[in-house]
Amino acid sequence: MVADIIVDVTGETCPVPLVEMRKAVMKADKGKVIVIRGTHGASREEIPMAVDSLGLKLLKTEETDGVWQIFIER
Amino acid sequence: MKMTIVVHSGDLDKVMSALIIGNGALSMGGSVTLYFTFWGLQRLVRGRLSKAPLSRMHFLGLGTFLMKRRMKRNRVASPERLMEDFKALGGKIIACEMTMELMGLSREQMETKWIDEYGAVGLYVRETEKADKTVFI
């Protein structure tokens, strides 16, 4: 899956990953794929909640060595 | 979803809570208005956002110093960063004019770029009428 926009929030803690996701969504055009990459456990759970609240599409979530990536479609 | 938060306290930890909740709600598609009154107004004075005591364990400044250091180590966003994000996401700030007068604060002393409106309780009530949730901090 090819991402149009990559938001790297590794090492950042709540609420930064959530806020950066929102900023990226605000800037992106409809149909664009945004990937958020981070390490904070709670953010991994709350970003999909925000995606749902914002009415966006959660494409997939993957994790390797404590680094998760959440793919969303604007 | 619309949320209003009354920021009555000027304590560092409480103001940070207000900003974190506000940023969370904005990030999830809501609209948020922070109504600063009483001690909270001190945080809107130019250059004083972080110059605040903790609500507990301030210990004449030592506790607050240690907490700030811990926050930096844990990469917790600073109040300045939280405020910048709050405004970037479209958050609204109202400063209570009656308590500004009470505390001897003039508009010239305030960080005006953050403040969208000055008003009194009527303005807060109008905002809250349209809100689904209100929080008092």
- 3-state DSSP call for residue B96? strand
Burial, B68: exposed, middle or buried (Cβ in 10 Å; 0-12, 13-18, 19+)?
A: middle
Which residue in A1, A14, A19, A42 is the catalytic one? A14
CATH number for the domain spanning A25: value is 3.30.110.40
The shortest CB-CB distance from B27 to any of A12, A22, A55 is to A22
Q: Which residues of A fall within a CB distance of 8 Å from B75?
A: 11-13
Burial, B84: exposed, middle or buried (Cβ in 10 Å; 0-12, 13-18, 19+)?
A: middle
Does this model's pTM top 0.90? My answer is yes
CB A49 to CB B28 under 8 A?
A: yes
Å from B74 to nearest chain A CA?
A: 8
How many structural domains comprise chain A? Answer: 1
Where are chain B's structural domains? Answer: 2-136
Q: What is the pLDDT of residues A12-21, one digit of tens each?
A: 999 999 999 9
CATH top-level class for B2-136? alpha beta
Q: What is the pLDDT of residues B31-56, one digit of tens each?
A: 999 999 999 999 999 999 999 989 99
* Range of the structural domain that residue A16 is part of: 5-73
Count A/B contacts: CB-CB distance under 8 Å: 48
**What pLDDT is attached to residue A1?**
76
Query: CA-nearest residue of chain B to A23?
Result: B89
Give the integer Cα–Cα distance in Å for A25 and A17.
Answer: 12
Start-to-end C-alpha separation, chain A: 15
- DSSP for A47-71, written as a single string: HHHHHHHTT-EEEEEEEETTEEEEE
Q: Which residues contact A63 (CB under 8 A, 6 or more apart)?
A: A44, A69
- 3-state DSSP call for residue A46? helix
Give the integer Cα–Cα distance in Å for B97 and B102.
Answer: 9
Q: What is the pLDDT of residues B73-130, one digit of tens each?
A: 999 999 999 999 999 999 999 999 999 999 999 999 999 999 999 999 999 999 999 9
Q: Which tokens go with A47?
A: 């970003």
